[in-house]
Every structure is written in C-alpha cells, then in structure tokens.
C-alpha cells in the first residue's frame, strides 16, 4: 500500500564546511559562517555608500587595473573587489590603517577591543594625542579606527600642525569593534597595492580605470592639513585629461558647481542625488545633487 505524506519533503542543504573547520568552530564556541561581505570599515566624509549602485552601474565592463587615488572609505573598491587594484591617498594615517587591516587584522582587533573597554572622554582626548606620537602601524591603525568610530560624525580634521582635533561624538554604543567586517576587509585587500602619495604621482596608462573621489569643490576639505582648493581641482582636471589622452578610463565624483562643470565640459556629466551628513545644521543634513563625470558612455566595452 502506498503511503502519502501530508506535507512536502523539505530539502536540507549539506554543510559546505570542512571537518577541521567545524571542529575548530565548536572548540571556539562559534557557529561556522560563510564569507562576510566586506564594506567600509571607517566612516568618511563624502563616503559613497548612498550612491554605490549609481557608481557600479557606470563602471566599465572591462579594464586593466583599478586605480583609486582618493581612497577614503573605499566603498566602490569593496563593492567591486577587482582582481588588480592600486589604492592610494595623501592621508598618511589612513593608508597606514588600510595596510594594517590587510596585513595584521587580528592584532588591530585586539587593540580595538582594548580601546572599547576603556572608552570615555578622557581616554578619547588622550587617544587624539597618541595618534600623532605612535610609530607602530598596528597601534596607529587601532587609534585611527577608534577615533573615527567615536568622534563627531566620523570627521577626519586636523589643525595646521597636522594634529587630529575633532571632538568626541555623543554615541550610546559606538561600533568600535566590527570583527566580521575587519576580517572580510582584510581578505578583500590582499591583492591590492596600497601606497601613500598624491594623485599626480601616478602615470596613467592605456586601459587602466580610475575612480576619482576628491574633496568636493566648495565643501569640507581639511583631510590632511593642506586642504584641497580650486588650484588643486584644476590640477586634478589636468590629470584626468592625461588619463584620457593616454587611453585610460576615468569616473570622477564631485559637487555640482559651475566651476567643476567648466573643468570637465568636454566629458560625460551626469547628476545624481546623494545624502550628505557633515554639518550640524538640520537644513544642511539632507540630500544634495552631485556630479558623476566620465570620459566614456554607459558600461564601456573596449
């Protein structure tokens, strides 16, 4: 006699973890998890997470090497995870932090746990001073991330002496230790070359793709004590011309001003809406138009 079941058979996916990995997870009292998707491990003024889909939809379909000379939070890099990447920024502490996350994530996490356990106003103020004195990349990275997670609005601002001077923010429980993401970012950065220098020190070549996200024109730009003024924007426009003339590809983000539009009038200029949360004034904490500028149309196919 045939027996009919009253409900559908449920299919259970087999565990894809190796025996040794499961044993280690049990010993650590952890459940084994699949890869965690990496996303920016720091907050950054002008970060691109709010328009990341706009950017991804405009990335060339093929290119020979990904270059990001204004690294910041690296949202587009972590979203794309290109096989060959050259990441750079003029901010010394930022680049030291990226390299430490790539090379020594567990040591950085241990320091971050210590910062979290000691966090208060006095400790924060001492950490601001310590950042400029430390020489160990691991300690610098942990201090940089700690200050970034606990300072006002995630700002990075320095005085004329190059000393970090942002006041502490008012957070009930700042996310100082994000272990899963730190480890995922470390893995995502393994194939990247990470250096500290000005964008103009790069020689663009044919088929290379550059994503350029400079301090925006007529907005906050005190990232390293020297600022980024109109002359710097003109210098950057010349660099973009060089990319174009050398057969490379570029996509640039900037504020929607007549000055910026005039610099790139011969290229493809599009307007997008992005959330910006830098100012403490309520009427300035809203969505603003900004520009995406490219020397190609659509998803470029070489």
pLDDT tens per residue, the chain (302 residues)? 444 444 444 444 444 445 554 444 334 434 444 456 899 999 988 778 789 999 999 999 999 999 999 999 999 999 999 999 999 999 999 999 999 999 999 999 999 999 999 999 999 999 999 999 999 999 999 999 999 999 998 888 888 888 899 999 999 899 999 999 999 999 999 999 999 999 999 999 999 999 999 999 887 555 555 678 999 999 999 999 999 999 999 999 999 999 999 999 999 999 998 876 545 444 455 678 999 999 998 664 44
Residues 267-287 pLDDT 10s: 999 999 887 654 544 445 567
Q: Are 215 and 223 in contact (CB under 8 A)?
A: yes
Query: What is the Cα–Cα distance from 246 to 260, expressed in whole angstroms?
Result: 22
CA 271 to chain CA centroid, Å, is: 22
Q: Long-range CB contacts (< 8 A, 24+ apart) of 13-22?
A: none
Query: What is the Cα–Cα distance from 162 to 129, expressed in whole angstroms?
Result: 11
CATH topology of domain 51-90+197-219+228-302: Rossmann fold (3.40.50)
Instruction: Take residue 224 and report the two structure tokens written for it.
Output: 């390293």
Q: What angle do CA 110, 102, 147 make, to 5 degrees?
A: 50
Q: Report pLDDT for 220.
A: 57
Residues 66-123 pLDDT 10s: 999 999 999 999 999 999 999 999 999 999 999 999 999 999 999 999 999 999 999 9
DSSP symbol at 268: E
Q: Report pLDDT for 223.
A: 54
């Amino acid at each position: 006699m045939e027996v009919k079941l009253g409900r559908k058979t449920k299919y259970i996916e087999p565990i894809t973890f190796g025996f040794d990995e499961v044993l280690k997870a049990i010993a650590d009292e952890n459940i084994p998890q699949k890869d965690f998707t990496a996303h920016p491990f720091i907050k950054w003024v002008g970060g691109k997470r709010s328009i990341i889909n706009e950017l991804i939809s405009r990335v060339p379909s093929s290119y020979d090497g990904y270059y990001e000379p204004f690294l910041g939070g690296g949202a587009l890099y972590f979203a794309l995870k290109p096989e060959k990447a050259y990441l750079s920024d003029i901010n010394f502490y930022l680049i030291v932090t990226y390299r430490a996350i790539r090379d020594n994530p567990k040591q950085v996490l241990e320091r971050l746990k210590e910062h979290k356990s000691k966090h208060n106003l006095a400790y924060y103020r001492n950490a601001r001073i310590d950042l400029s004195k430390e020489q160990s990349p691991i300690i610098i990275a942990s201090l940089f991330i700690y200050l970034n997670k606990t300072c006002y609005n995630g700002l990075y601002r320095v005085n004329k002496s190059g000393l970090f001077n942002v006041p502490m923010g008012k957070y009930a429980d700042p996310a100082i230790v994000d272990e899963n993401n730190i480890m995922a970012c470390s893995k995502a950065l393994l194939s990247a070359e990470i250096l500290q220098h000005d964008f103009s020190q790069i020689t663009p070549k044919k088929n290379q793709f550059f994503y350029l996200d400079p301090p925006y024109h007529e907005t906050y730009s005190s990232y390293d004590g020297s600022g980024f003024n109109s002359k710097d924007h003109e210098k950057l426009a010349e660099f973009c011309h060089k990319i174009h003339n050398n057969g490379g590809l570029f996509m640039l983000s900037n504020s929607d001003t007549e000055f910026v539009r005039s610099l790139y009038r011969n290229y493809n200029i599009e307007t997008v809406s992005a959330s910006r949360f830098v100012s403490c004034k309520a009427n300035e904490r809203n969505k603003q138009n900004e520009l995406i500028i490219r020397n190609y149309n659509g998803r470029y196919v070489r």
